[in-house]
Structure 1
């Protein structure tokens, strides 16, 4: 028995297309229709809220071997070097949980950080929170990619994404905040993209300098 190529496809055969009208595929959208949709979505200027309202992603190339860069980022204390304001990291009594101070809030704003890293995938996720360490809801997602694979040259590509957790809009633990602090981390959300790009450029400058000068990308004091 011969089965047609279309009939043999299993993709989306379990759902009536009328139930998901927002899905556009070559099976229900002609190339001309698809091109018209894409062109209609393009803008010369995009509203800040449309691009950075719920997610912030920054990326850059770093002239440093990916594994060395990953190993550096996987050290929580590296944040003291390349971030703009996290300082004074000390490990708490809870293994893997670090306490530092975010000078962006004020000198008394504590920030707690736990680093969740995957050696094989070269992902480094920083789970953080201002003021308290019981619920780490500020998640910084970082992936290091081998530039040889994606750009055909040695080095690394760093992808960094933040998601707008609801707690950015209100402080869920006001009782743990310093009494004299007037700024909440979520007040700064509109500046996250620019601020994180500055920090990514810091990371790039530090890693590239050490690599170019034969220095360990991760200094001994971090290891």
Structure 2
């Protein structure tokens, strides 16, 4: 079998490969996608990708992030984590809004060093705010010691309209989705926090994951 041999048409619309578009034909297509200035919504409208390099070992950074309560340290506004009666589900307060509870469950895979935070404001039954994170060994990708942390959010439709208005405080003004245009710089600020905390502990001989969190 050869590549794409299961598809009966010779060319799939929108697919450019060297077989159907040589370098001279493809280069203008690529160059046309370059911009000196990118609209904010084009970069952060559907996805919110942020990343950082941390001067600390990747396995230790991963293990720190894999603890849900690490969010109480490096995020800007999540505080007061307590575990609910449901194992692995945590309740906290999001200080971005008045009297707003946030629920979080961490799904972590040590082999790939991925950490996904499944969260939601006001209720813990449907965790629709998904924060996807991956820790990469900087030695592999940058030929230097340390960690690369990649973080992506997806613009779930619930950001546009609160699906559970009855669950939140009646006097609260606004909704988490109102902050979406600020997610890019806001999450980068939080990654800066993560970098500062991890690098301080590592440089001073402290475990990245403190004993109280274990």
Q: Flag whether TM exceeds 0.5 (same fold).
A: yes
Structure 1: 5+ residue runs without aligned partners? 1-8
- Output aligned runs, 1:178-189, within 5 Å: 178-189=169-180
The answer to whether structure 1 residue 46 and structure 2 residue 46 are counterparts is no
Of 132, 147, 150 in structure 2, the residue corresponding to residue 159 of structure 1 is 150
- Output aligned runs, 1:137-216, within 5 Å: 137-216=128-207
Pair member with larger Rg: 1
SS of residue matched to 2:32: helix
The answer to whether structure 1 residue 113 and structure 2 residue 111 are counterparts is no
What is the match of residue 66 of structure 1? 58
The answer to whether structure 1 residue 221 and structure 2 residue 212 are counterparts is yes
* 176-185 or 134-143, larger mean C-alpha shift: 176-185
* Cα pair distance change 1:170/1:18, threshold 3 Å: farther
TM-score by length of 1: 0.94
Aligned residues: 214
1:118-161 CA-to-partner distances (Å, cap 9, x unmatched) read: 01110000000000000000000000000010011111000000
What is the match of residue 75 of structure 1? 67
What is the match of residue 5 of structure 1? none
1:2-23 CA-to-partner distances (Å, cap 9, x unmatched) read: xxxxxxx611111134662100
CA distance, structure 2, for counterparts of residue 102 and residue 220 of structure 1: 24
Of 134, 152, 170 in structure 1, the residue corresponding to residue 125 of structure 2 is 134
1:83-119 CA-to-partner distances (Å, cap 9, x unmatched) read: 000000000000000000000022x100000000001
Q: Is the 8 A contact 2:11 2:20 kept in 1?
A: no
